[in-house]
Amino acid sequence: MKKLSYILRDLLRFKGNTFTKIISLAIGLSVGILSFSYCAFETDYDSFHRYADRIYRIGTTEGNTNIPLALANEAKRGIPEIELTTCIQERIYPNYIYKKQRFQGGDALRADTSFFRLFSYRLLSGDPRDLQYADKFFISDKLAAIIFGNEDPLGKEVKYGNKLITVAGIFENFPRNGHLMNIHAIHPLIQTNDNQWTDKPEYKGYILLTPGADPDKVTRQIQAIADPHQSEEHHYSYTLQPLRDLHLKYGWGYTYITLVGIMGSIIVLISALNYILISVSSLIQKTKEIGIHKINGASTSNIFTMFFTETVILIIISGLLALGELIAFKPFFENIMYNEYASLFNTRVLITVAFFFVFMIILTGVLPARLFASVPVLQIFRQVSHGRRFWKYILLWIQFFSACLLLTLLIIFNGQYKTMMNKDMGYTMENLYYTQMYCGSPYPSLASVKDEVKRLPFISNVTFSSNLPLWPVSATVSDPNGQGLFQSCVIHTDEDFFSTLQIPILDGDSIAFTGGKDNVWVNEKFREKLEITGTNATGLVVEKRPITPCGTCRNFHVLSLYAYQEPLTIFRLQEPDTTRSYYLLMRMEQADRQQMKELMTRIRKISNQPDLNLYYYPHVFRAGYESDKDMCTSVLIFSSMAIIIAILGLFGFTGDEVSRRTKEIAIRKVIGASVTSITLLLLRNISLLALLSIPFALTGAYFIGSLWLEEFIYRLPLSIWIFLGGAALTFIVILLTVLLKSQRGIRARPAETLKSE
Q: Is the pLDDT reported for residue 634 higher than 90?
A: no
Please compute the mean of the pLDDT values over residues 480-485 and round it to a whole number. Answer: 77
Quickly list DSSP for 501-565.
Answer: HTPPEEEE-HHHHHH-TTEEEEEHHHHHHHHHHT--STTEEETTEEEEEEEEE-----S-TTS--
> What is the predicted pLDDT for the residue at 380?
47
Per-residue pLDDT at 664:
65
- Mean pLDDT value of segment 99-110: 84
Q: Tell me what the mean pLDDT of segment 634-645 comes to.
A: 82
With cut-offs at 50, 70 and 90, classify the pLDDT of residue 243.
very high
- How many whole angstroms separate alpha carbon 239 and alpha carbon 223? 8
Cα–Cα dist 291/273, whole Å: 25
Grouping H, G, I as helix, E, B as strand and the rest as coil, residue 228 is helix
DSSP 471: S
Task: Tell whether the model's pLDDT for residue 207 goes beyond 90.
Answer: yes
Q: 597 or 282, which is more confident?
A: 597
Contacts of 110 (CB under 8 A, 6+ apart): 88, 89, 92, 186, 187, 188, 189
Cα separation, 254 vs 335, whole angstroms: 19
pLDDT tens string 24-58:
888 888 888 888 888 888 888 899 999 999 999 99
Q: What integer is the mean pLDDT of 273-286? A: 70
d(CA 409, CA 699): 11
Which residue did the predictor score with more confidence, 558 or 751? 558
Count of residues in the chain = 757
What pLDDT is recorded for position 362? 84
Residues 679-728 pLDDT 10s? 777 777 788 888 888 899 999 999 988 888 888 888 889 889 999 999 99
Q: Do the strands 95-98 and 505-508 form a parallel or antiparallel pair, or are they unpaired? A: unpaired
Please state, in angstroms and rounded to a whole number, the distance separating the CA atoms of residues 637 and 229: 54
| pTM of this structure | 0.74
Q: What percent of the chain has pLDDT over 90?
A: 16
pLDDT of residue 386: 46
Model pLDDT, residue 241: 92
**φ and ψ at 61, to 5 degrees?**
-70, -15
Determine the pLDDT at residue 215.
92
**Structure confidence by residue, pLDDT tens digits, 425-460:** 999 999 999 998 888 888 888 888 898 888 888 889
Is the pLDDT at 611 greater than 90? The verdict is no
| Dihedral over Cα of 429, 431, 435, 441: its sign | negative
SS3 414: helix
User: What are residue 749's phi and psi, to 5 degrees?
Assistant: -70, 130
Cα–Cα–Cα angle for 468, 711, 565, nearest 5°? 40
Q: Averaged over 4-19, what is the pLDDT?
A: 64
Largest CA distance in the chain: 105
Distance CA 546, CA 481 (A): 12
Q: Residue 168: which pLDDT band, with cuts at 50, 70 and 90?
A: very high
Query: How crowded is residue 216: how many other Cβ atoms within 10 Å of its Cβ?
Result: 10
Q: What is the DSSP string of 475-494?
A: EEEE-TTS-EEEEEEEEEE-
> In this predicted structure, what is the pLDDT of residue 293?
65
pLDDT at 546 over 80: yes
Lowest mean pLDDT, pick from 44-48, 394-398, 702-706, 744-748 = 744-748
Distance, C-alpha 322 to centroid of its chain: 23
Give the pLDDT of residue 233.
56
Q: Report the candidate in 702, 635, 713, 617 with the shortest Cα–Cα distance to residue 423.
A: 713
Q: Does residue 642 register a pLDDT over 60?
A: yes
What mean pLDDT do residues 642-665 have? 72
Q: Which of 14-18, 102-106, 470-474 has the lowest mean pLDDT?
A: 14-18
The β-bridge partners of 522 are 552, 569
Question: What is the spatial distance between Cα 520 and Cα 534, in angstroms, rounded to a whole number?
Answer: 20
**Amino acid of residue 471:** W
Using the predicted structure, report yes or no on whether residue 493 has a pLDDT greater than 60.
Answer: yes
Label residue 424 exposed, middle or buried (CB < 10 Å: 0-12, 13-18, 19+).
Answer: exposed
Tell me the pLDDT tens digit for each residue of 112-139.
Answer: 999 999 999 999 999 988 988 889 999 9
Tell me if 148 sits within 8 A of 74, measured CB to CB: no
